Each structure stands twice: as C-alpha cells, then as structure tokens.
Amino acid sequence: MSGATRAARQATSLSDELIAEHGISPDEYARLLEGLGREPTLTELGIFSVMWSEHCSYKSSRVWLKKLPTTGPQVIQGPGENAGVVDLGDGQAAVFKMESHNHPSYIEPYQGAATGVGGIMRDVFTMGARPVANMNALRFGAPEHPKTRHLVSGVVSGIGDYGNCMGVPTVGGETNFDARFNDNILVNAMTVGLVDANRIFKSAAKGVGLPVVYVGSKTGRDGIHGATMASAEFDEASQEKRPTVQVGDPFTEKLLLEACLELMAEDAIVAIQDMGAAGLTSSSVEMADKGGVGIDLDLDHVPTREEGMTAYEMLLSESQERMLMVLKPGAEPIAERIFTKWELDFAVIGETTDTGRLVVRHAGVVEADIPLAALAHAAPVYERPWVPREKPPTIAPEDVKAPNSILGALECLMGSPHLASRRWIWEQYDHMVMADTVQRPGGDAAVVRVHGTKKGLAISCDVTPRYCAADPYEGAKQAVAECWRNLMAVGAAPLAITDCMNFGNPERPEIMGEFVGAVEGMAEACGALGFPVVSGNVSLYNETNGIAIPPTPAIGGVGLISDIADMASIALKQDGDLLLLLGGETGHLGQSTYMQVMTDRLEGAPPPVDLAAERRVGDLVRALIKAHAVSAVHDVSDGGLLVAIAEMALASNRGVTLETAPDRLPAHARWFGEDQARYVVAAAPDKADGIHKAAAVAEVPVRVLGSVGGDMITLPGETPLSLTALKAAHGEWLPRFMAHG
C-alpha cells in the first residue's frame, strides 16, 4: 500500500478542530495542501505542525533577522547551523549559542531549566566542540509574587544539576526580578565550546544511500508538541501542559558528549544534528534539506522507552539526549563500537535518498511521504503588521527626587533585589570544573582559559529589560553595547554575539513593533562595534492573558584575551591607587535603578547610547589594560557610578575615599545616573599622568574620583559607610529571600 493511499483513507478524519489544535491556520493549511498535493495523514499534520511552528520556522521574525550583521573576518560560521563559530587563531575556534527555555521553565522550573541547559550544550557539541562554559540569563517576577521563590529555586537547581553533572562550568550570567515577568519567566542558557577550526561538524547530509543513525537515549512520550507549546501564549489552562515538558538526564548527556567527541575524532560522520525541538522530525528534515537529498526512516528501528508508540509520537517526541547522524558508508561498526562502549543506544534507522522526500515507515506502513521542499522552503514567512513605539520623554536629573544621603541611598540600592549579590545562585553552579576558570562569577565578564594555552575566552550575557520596555530600539542598542563593554573591561577583544530574542505575541502590532525596534537597535550597535551575530534564538508568545513581557533581547557575547596575563578584573588591588572615571557624565536618571528603588516611579527614556563614544572609551580602556596602566576596571551600568565603585570595593574588601565632585549636576544624578560608555579604573598614582594623556588623545573625558584604602566608603560631607555594612546589605538579600518560604 502506498503512502498516498493510506493518506487518502485517513484524511477524511482530520477535522478543522484537529488542524487548529496543531497550530495550523486555515491559510497555512491551504499552503500545506498545495505543497503536499493531497490531504495529510495525522502523522503528516503533526510533522507540518512542528516544522511550521514559530519555534522551528521563525516565520514571524525571519524577515527582520536578516537585518542583523552576521559576517566579519573572525566569523567561521554565522546563523543557520546548530551554533555560531568564531576564529580564535592558532587553528582554534569558539562555538557558541544561547537559547530560551521559557515556557517549559515556567510550567516545570527544574526540568524546564535543566533541559534548556542540556539542549544548548548539545547544540554546541553537535558542532564537534567540547563545551567549556555555560552562562544563563534569568528573568523572574517580583520577589513578592507568590510563585517567584519556587521558580528561582527550581530553575537554579535545574541549571546547576545539569551543568554540574556534565562537568561544564557555569561561569556567570544575570538575573532580574520584575513584576512584568510574573506570569512568564525567561530562562536563557548559553554554552561556549572549543573546537579545532578544521574539525567543525555540520548538519548537511550530502550524499545518497548513506546510513542514518540514531544514538543516545531511547524515545519516550515526553515533550510531544513542546515546540508548538513554545509557540503559543499562556492562559489559565497552561499548567495542564506539564506533560509537554521534557525530562533531562545529564548523566546520559555526559556519555553522549564523550561518545560523540570520540566518534568525531574518527573519519566517520557526514552530518550530525541533535534532536532538540521537534525531535526526530526536525533533525531529519534539516539534515536532508541542507544536504539537498531525501531521507527514508524506518521507525521500527527507533529505540523506544515505551511499548506501542505510534509514528506520530516517535516523530514528535522531544525526549532528550538524542542525536541523529548520517555516517560515511561502512562507518557503522566503528560508531556502534563507540556508542556501545558508552552504553548508549545505537540504531541505523534509515538512509539518505535521491527522492527529495521525507518518507517514514512504521510497521510496514508508510506513515508520511512529504516533499522536503514543501516542508522546509514552503514554510510560511510573515511580514506581520507593526507599529513603532512612541519615544518616552527624557527626564531631567532635577526632576528625580534626591535622597537624604548619597551613601544611605547606595546602601539601599546595593541591598535591593535589583543589585543584591547573586552569590546564592552561582554558588550552586560548579563554576570551576575543567580547572580553566581564570575569572569567576561576579565580575564584568567570566573568563575561561583556552585549555593548554595562555589565551582566555571572555563571556558576558546582558540586557536591561526595563530600558527595552521603555524604548526597544535604544534598549537593544544598550544591551549590545553593555555586553561589548563587559568584554572590553576584562581586556578582551569582543568577537561576536549570540542572541535570545524574548518577546510577546507577534500577531499584535505593538509587540511586533517592539521586535522591529529591538532588531534595528541591535543591528546598529552590532554594526558600529564590529560585533556580528553568529547564532541565536527567537522566543515569541511570552505572554499570558494578553499581557506581554518587556521586550528582552538577551545578548551573549564572546571575546578573546590573547594572554591572560593581560586580563583585568573589578577587584581593587592596592591601597593608594587612584580611582578614575573614563567617559562623560550627564546624570541620566530616567529608567535608572535609583529611580526604581528610591522613588516610586520608573519612567522616561533609557540612557541614550552613543556608539562612537562606546568605541572611543572602550578602545582606550583596553589599551590601558594591555599596557598594564590600570590595576582594576569595572564598567558602569545598573546603579551608576557609585554602585560600580562599591562593587569594586566589595570585590577586594578595600575601602575608597571619594573626592567632592564638581557641582554641575545634582549629586544623586552624578553618583547614580546610568550614562553609558563609561568605566571606572584604578591605577597607581604614577600612572595617572599617562592615563590623562592617553585619554586626551582619545578624546575621552577623565575625572579623578578618589583613592583606594581603608575599610569604608567615604564621601565628603557624609557619614562614611563601612564595607561591613555594605557587604551585609549586598549579600543578605537573596539568601534571606530564598530562606523565607
């Protein structure tokens, strides 16, 4: 019996409701019929449903993502593969990507976050790279929200348990608390790996008659339609979607990692693709489509965890820790030997063909027979209507209430949920395994040594959702600029970014307008800073009952330090050193942490980003680091100048004595304004002249802020703030919050 025959017989049972339940619109169904040339079977409908889901097809975002710069001399692989790749010189390359696991993490925080980490690591080792660092960017609701503590606890232990077991250090990240994430948290995970530049593996299955091999865990009924869930809004019934959340097994993934890398050292693999979203369907379709071939699968050979699984279930399962490979002819025995050694399933489940079709058989019946062109290239692409966001007014510093005391305000800010220490989180992550973490969490960027060399990879994740909510364009520019700045601040040459675009429902023109604004802002900043996008992920429909999250384009950047002896950190090193501010001061308080914590308003325009100034100041700072003219460096971001200084003091347990600032600006605007393109540096007094001269040449303003020493933060006219009190305020909030269930 041919597939078409079975299809014709089954087709009558596909009701409009069933089609709608698969997230396929009437227009899309018409397109499906045209591409297929007949009515689909239920299995085929499932295949189209996941392949055309927002999650897999990027149908709403694709036209806009094309605006992002993706090339540069350092780029070996841009978007389109499992992860991006940049050149590190000496035949080495870094492979990295960030991905969201927002919807599952809200429904089941531990497993959702764990499998997010597992998925992104698979993306990286699929390319042949050994993961060397994990990062994460987390957004939770307000601390007062009844679910927040439970979500933080589950997400953090899920991330920790997975990465810790894998033996890949989780070296940093960022965490925000904001009521606008109460009903949709964001869990974005990033992995960076290392690979020899001439040993990169891709997903194009070029060649006919090649064995298609399934390795890893068995397939179960978990995660079916996960990709479709991640492409819809939440409502009251969303908790019922728990069964669509996958369950992670980091031990199996560790074995899979080692087995894959062992096989990759042999000359055996033509193409490899991890089974992530949309599982076997997506991996087989992508490999065949990219290779320009067809693919035949026989599901009778798929290792299954449960009895009686249907073709539909096997094709749509998102069971974790699985890989699909196309091997060179005759390479099956060596592959089987390696996977058996690691006690993993290994099965030849099909072969590549010259038909250009995906043909799936199960129990002797053709369950699906679809031209790949109809699945992949005919996927819908939408130019969704959008409206630009009106720019909020700029708030003058004088219009924001001053505090009773500057140092009192500093203590409040440092002990607020927004700036309090994240140690409680990163202490649960093994951030030292692999013994190459040369800069641990808590600084501007984490730095891991390229194993066996003196080179370092600097990594930072950044975005300020409150800025993006006020002005998506300027906020996205800021996210890219801050990431770039954090890499510069440790002495790295920024190479490229990955992004995780978290937004609401793109079918609403105002949300689509946020997306467009953010992409345009990113494109401008990436272009101006020579910081291309090499990989990324879009997560839409982050909204519940029509209320969307703030637009959150999370940026994960990677930079290279050619010699870690030239690395900078935020810790003050020496009493008597001078503290200097590099960069201008306008006292921008709109959308600032000061405004959020010390007043009851959070309004106005976010700080504007002058990309030319970013470059000038950043290049100066990196040159000073390289010349060993500065002993500590910190970028100025959330909380402004005084918070940056306080963080440097706490990192080293050294006090600072600050001088009276010129009174052109109100004191609270000067100390807490969030003007961009600024760094605080410490330097030995005999280096100050040279720094002033270099800054003058670079046309960068410099101001001496004070000097290092003692055990207090001292400001003229104010009662000094002891580091002990500051440390307590900064350190206690999160543990106390988490302890009081």
Partner 1 sequence: MKASVIVFPGSNCDRDAAVALEAAMGAAPTMVWHGDSELPNSDLILLPGGFSYGDYLRSGAMAAHSPIMREVVRRAKAGTPVLGICNGFQVLTESGLLPGVLMRNTNLRFICEDVLLKVERNDTAFARCYAKGAVVRFPIAHKDGCYFADEATLDRLESENRVAFRYCEASGAVTAEANPNGSRRNIAGIYNETGTVLGLMPHPERLADAALSGTDGAKMFASLVETLH
- DSSP string of 75-131? EEE-BTBSSEEEEEETTEEEEEEEEE-HHHHHHSHHHHHHHHHHHHHHHHHHTTPEE
Which residues 360-419 are close enough to bind partner 1 by CB under 8 A? Answer: none
Q: Identify the CA nearest to 311 among candidates 123, 56, 53, 40.
A: 40
Q: What angle do CA 164, 168, 172 make, to 5 degrees?
A: 90
Give the amino acid at 440.
R
Residue 222 sits at φ, ψ, to 5 deg, of -90, 150
Q: What angle do CA 673, 678, 684 make, to 5 degrees?
A: 115
Q: Please list the active-site residues.
A: 55, 101
In this complex, which beta carbon is closest to partner 1, that of residue 291 or of residue 442? 442
Name every residue whose Cβ is closer than 8 Å to that of residue 383 and which is 6 or more positions away in sequence.
63
Alpha-carbon 710 to chain mean position = 39
Per CB under 8 A, the list member of 41, 57, 105, 164 interacting with partner 1 is 164
Q: Identify the CA nearest to 21 among candidates 192, 344, 171, 244.
A: 244
In this complex, which beta carbon is closest to partner 1, that of residue 164 or of residue 596? 164
In this complex, which beta carbon is closest to partner 1, that of residue 218 or of residue 431? 431
Please, are residues 431 and 171 in contact by the beta-carbon 8 Å criterion? Answer: yes
3-state secondary structure of 688: helix
In this complex, which beta carbon is closest to partner 1, that of residue 56 or of residue 564? 564
The residue whose two tokens read 């993490």 is: 105
In this complex, which beta carbon is closest to partner 1, that of residue 448 or of residue 480? 448
A 10 A CB-CB count for 327 gives 22
Please, are residues 139 and 552 in contact by the beta-carbon 8 Å criterion? Answer: yes
Q: Does 699 bind partner 1 (CB under 8 A)?
A: no
Residue 74 sits at φ, ψ, to 5 deg, of -85, -10
Q: What angle do CA 508, 509, 511 make, to 5 degrees?
A: 70
Q: Which stretch binds partner 1 (CB under 8 A): 74-82, 435-443, 483-491, 572-580?
A: 435-443
Q: Does 165 bind partner 1 (CB under 8 A)?
A: yes
Q: Does 427 bind partner 1 (CB under 8 A)?
A: yes
Which residues 323-352 are close enough to bind partner 1 by CB under 8 A? Answer: 341-343
Q: Which stretch binds partner 1 (CB under 8 A): 326-334, 423-431, 648-656, 701-709?
A: 423-431
In this complex, which beta carbon is closest to partner 1, that of residue 167 or of residue 207? 167
Q: Does 167 bind partner 1 (CB under 8 A)?
A: yes
Q: Taking the complex as a whole, how short is the minimal distance between the CB of residue 170 and partner 1, in angstroms?
A: 9
Please, are residues 285 and 372 in contact by the beta-carbon 8 Å criterion? Answer: yes
Binding mask 212-241 for partner 1 (x = CB under 8 A): ------------------------------
The count of residues interacting with partner 1 (CB under 8 A) is 32
Per CB under 8 A, the list member of 100, 231, 284, 437 interacting with partner 1 is 437
Q: Taking the complex as a whole, how short is the minimal distance between the CB of residue 153 and partner 1, in angstroms?
A: 9
In this complex, which beta carbon is closest to partner 1, that of residue 447 or of residue 700? 447
Q: Which stretch binds partner 1 (CB under 8 A): 41-49, 156-164, 351-359, 708-716?
A: 156-164
Q: Does 652 bind partner 1 (CB under 8 A)?
A: no
Q: Does 103 bind partner 1 (CB under 8 A)?
A: no
A 10 A CB-CB count for 717 gives 8
Which residues 523-582 are close enough to bind partner 1 by CB under 8 A? Answer: 564
637, two tokens: 């971001």
Q: Does 255 bind partner 1 (CB under 8 A)?
A: yes
Report d(CA 733, CA 710) in Å as an integer.
25
Which residues lie near partner 1 (CB under 8 A)? 157, 160-161, 164-167, 249-252, 254-255, 341-343, 426-438, 440, 449, 564
